[in-house]
Structure 1
Amino acid sequence: MKKFQTLLYYCYSPIADAELFAAEHLTFCKSLGLVGRIIVAEEGLNGTVSGTQKACEAYMAAIKADERFTKTDFKVDDVAEPSFIKMHCRYKSEIVHSGLRDPNVIDPNKETGKHLEPADFQKMIDQEDVVILDVRSNYEHNLGRFKNAVTLDIENFRDFPNKINELAKYKNKKVLTYCTGGIKCEKASALLLQHGFEDVYQLHGGIIKYGKEAGGKDFEGKCYVFDNRIAVDVNSVNPTIVSTCYSCGKVTPKMINCANPECNEHITQCDDCGDELLGCCSAPCMTNPRRRTYDGTGYYVKVPQPILAK
């Protein structure tokens, strides 16, 4: 029996004095013994936390008890060990970096795509007048994506607004957006509506919820997650692998971060190339004096750099 849980969640809800809230929330999370990463902004919360089942249940109860966050939808995974090493709770201008900060322009609480539960999303994806749109970054959809999905050449979600014109040819279609947990779709679908797309939907709870409630049917490959698991299985119905090794081209489901911390590129890499290149994406990265020791996972805990005396 797995003794720990990992919670993935977000909630768009105004937070007054969000910077103070972030500091107090960090103290609260530490008091429960949780580890993870939470972003707090005036627009809401975005987090992944991990700990014992008791601690996670206490955390979910506390969030739900706060009238600002009662609508929070938690995705819960049972895990063999905590998915983080430390607990971070940081204040930022947005809970997901999009560059769309003005609530008078984009506010998911006022306008967003129609939310589709996993079963309804599954029923729609094979319809002829439907376009499935992946709003995630390259390294995420390279690892796994829905069958026949339209993917965008973007390094970060903040690049999404610049791709709207490329999507104009789908304005007469039903556009079904999806991402890992749903948070990016809230703003992506709203932006599409503002640019004249009339029939816009989003997968409620994202890929993770779809895997849990609909068996992950027709999601090809694995899903990238932002913790030390790096990638998780989604499809238990008709699973397949679509990612290939960045170094040799061989089919592989494994994703790593380059061992050179000055590169830290997210790449899919087979075990043979990982061993040969010491977890690096290229030979030049192998020579970096700060190269991290590759343990086969490709996940590295961030270590603060020493402050040099002036």
Structure 2
Amino acid sequence: MSTYQTLLYYCYSPIENAEQFAADHLDFCRSLNLVGRIIVADEGLNGTVSGTVEACKAYMEAVHADTRFTKTEFKIDNVDELSFIKMHCRYKPEIVHSGLRDPKLIDPNKQTGIHLEPKEFMEMIDSDDVVVLDVRSNYEHSVGKFKNAVTLDIENFREFPEKVKELEQYKNKKILTYCTGGIKCEKASALLIKEGFEDVYQLHGGIIKYGKEAGGKDFEGKCYVFDNRVTVDVNTVNPVVISTCKNCGKVTPKMINCANALCNEHFTQCDECGWEMEGCCSDACKQQPDKREYDGTGYYVKIPQPVNYDKISKRKHKNFPPKISTTI
């Protein structure tokens, strides 16, 4: 059995005094020796954390013990080493940046596409009246996507609302949206319904859950994840590699960040070009004198930003998490 686990989760649930909650939650995660990245907003939580099996168990129990987050679903991966180096928990306007902040217009707690369990999704994707829609960014679907999926040319999910007009041709079809863990689909499917799409669905739990419960059938390539694993395998039924090295064109599943921090482009690069280019996407980036040292992984730890306590509300807030008797 693996020593560590990595948890992927989100929950749309209003949080009062969310800035203070973020600071308190960071302290709690550190008390469990967890590492990871959590976004806290007035609308809820979005996180990936990694730690010992015992620490992850204690964390899940604490989240579920809070009545605001009892419905949170955790996708659990057993891993041989921690998936992060540091622990970050920050307050932001949204738990996934979409630009759709007005709950009067888009509220995942009130209306979204019909949730399909992985096996239901698998049974529908080959139907003639279905369009499978990837709502992720270019660098994500370039390394892996569902067979015949419609992809959008977007660098960030906040561009998705501008692309909806390009989907008008599919209004008479069933739209099946998917993303990594399900969080983007909550707002993407809600927006599609608001824009007049009548038959909208979403893959419950995203690609990660689909891999665990349906074997990942017909997901081509790897799934991009937002930790130092960078990508993970999904398909154990009919796997293929679809991505190619940006520099030489060789088929490769390896995705990295450009060693030039001023560029930091996500791109696929084979090992040979990685060492030759020193982890850079171009000769111009390779010549950058302050580029980061390439160690073969192409993953670089961000410098943590301090919590701005001056911005934190002074109002009383509910204690979270509850005290836990589990000894870590």
Indicate the TM-score class for this superposition, using the shorter chain for normalisation.
over 0.9
Q: Distance in 1 between matches of 2:27 and 2:272?
A: 43
Once superposed, which parts of structure 1, at least 4 consecutive aligned residues long, lie more than 4 Å away?
A: none
Q: Residue 112 of structure 1: CA displacement? A: 0.3
Task: Specify every segment of 5 or more residues in structure 2 that has no aligned partner in the other structure, as ranges.
Answer: 306-328
Amino acid in structure 1 at the alignment position of 2:179: C
Aligned to 1:160: 160
Aligned to 1:205: 205
Matched residue SS, 1:103: coil
Normalization by structure 2: what TM-score?
0.92
Q: Distance in 1 between matches of 2:16 and 2:256?
A: 38
Q: Distance in 2 between matches of 1:185 and 1:62?
A: 26
Instruction: Give 1:111-130 correspondences, 5 Å limit.
Output: 111-130=111-130
Aligned to 2:245: 245
Matched residue SS, 2:10: strand
Q: Distance in 2 between matches of 1:175 and 1:241?
A: 25
Amino acid in structure 2 at the alignment position of 1:31: S
Aligned to 1:265: 265
Do the aligned partners of 2:208 and 2:234 also contact (CA within 8 Å) in 1?
yes
Amino acid in structure 1 at the alignment position of 2:121: F
Matched residue SS, 1:51: strand
Instruction: Give 1:84-163 correspondences, 5 Å limit.
Output: 84-163=84-163
> Structure 1, residues 231-251: CA drift from partner, whole Å, max 9, x if none?
000000000000011111111
Amino acid in structure 2 at the alignment position of 1:226: F
Normalization by structure 1: what TM-score?
0.97
Matched residue SS, 1:101: coil
Q: Residue 211 of structure 1: CA displacement? A: 0.2
> Structure 1, residues 86-140: CA drift from partner, whole Å, max 9, x if none?
1000000000000001011100000100000001000000111000000000000
More contact order relative to length (CA 8 Å, sep ≥ 6): 2
Matched residue SS, 1:303: coil
Amino acid in structure 2 at the alignment position of 1:179: C
Q: Residue 192 of structure 1: CA displacement? A: 0.1
> Structure 1, residues 162-185: CA drift from partner, whole Å, max 9, x if none?
001100000010000000000000
Instruction: Give 1:166-185 correspondences, 5 Å limit.
Output: 166-185=166-185
> Structure 1, residues 61-110: CA drift from partner, whole Å, max 9, x if none?
00011110011010000001110001000000000000001011100000
Shift in alpha-carbon separation, 1:304–1:186, aligned structure 2, 3 A:
closer
Q: Distance in 2 between matches of 1:303 and 1:162?
A: 32
The answer as to 2:303 corresponding to 1:303 is yes
Aligned to 1:308: none
Matched residue SS, 1:88: strand
The answer as to 2:187 corresponding to 1:192 is no
Q: Residue 289 of structure 1: CA displacement? A: 1.7
RMSD of the alignment, in Å? 0.8
The answer as to 2:223 corresponding to 1:223 is yes
> Structure 1, residues 41-69: CA drift from partner, whole Å, max 9, x if none?
00000000000000000000000111100
Do the aligned partners of 2:135 and 2:160 also contact (CA within 8 Å) in 1?
yes
Task: Specify every segment of 5 or more residues in structure 1 that has no aligned partner in the other structure, as ranges.
Answer: 306-310
Q: Residue 290 of structure 1: CA displacement? A: 1.4
Q: Residue 304 of structure 1: CA displacement? A: 6.0
The answer as to 2:288 corresponding to 1:288 is yes
> Structure 1, residues 223-278: CA drift from partner, whole Å, max 9, x if none?
00000000000000000000011111111000000000110000000111111100
Q: Distance in 2 between matches of 1:19 and 1:11?
A: 16
| Alignment coverage as a number of residue pairs | 305
Matched residue SS, 1:85: coil
Matched residue SS, 1:220: strand
> Structure 1, residues 186-217: CA drift from partner, whole Å, max 9, x if none?
00000000000000000000000000000000
